[in-house]
Amino acid sequence: MKLCGLTGGVGMGKSTTAGFLRQRGAQVVDTDEITRELVQPNQPALEEIKKTFGGEIISPDGRLRRDELAKIIFADTAARKKLEVILHPKIRERWLAQIEEWKRENVALAVVVIPLLFETNAESHFDKIICTACSANAQRERLLARGWTPEQIQQRIAAQMPVEEKISRSHFVIWTEGNLENHSHQLDRILAKL
* pLDDT reported for residue 57: 95
Of 159, 26, 119, 169, nearest in space to 17 by CA: 26
Instruction: Specify the pTM.
Output: 0.94
CATH number of 2-193: 3.40.50.300
pLDDT digits (tens, 9 = 90+) for 56-67: 999 999 999 999
| Residues lower than pLDDT 50 in the chain | none
Q: Which helix (H) or strand (E) holds 27?
A: strand 27-30
Domain residue spans in the chain? 2-193
pLDDT of residue 95: 98
**What pLDDT sits at residue 35?**
96
Q: Element (H or E) spanning 42, and its range? A: none
Q: What would the pLDDT profile of 159-187 be if each residue is shown by its tens digit?
A: 999 999 999 999 999 999 989 999 999 99
Query: What count of residues does the chain have?
Result: 194
> Nearest to residue 132, comparing CAs of 190, 70, 87?
190
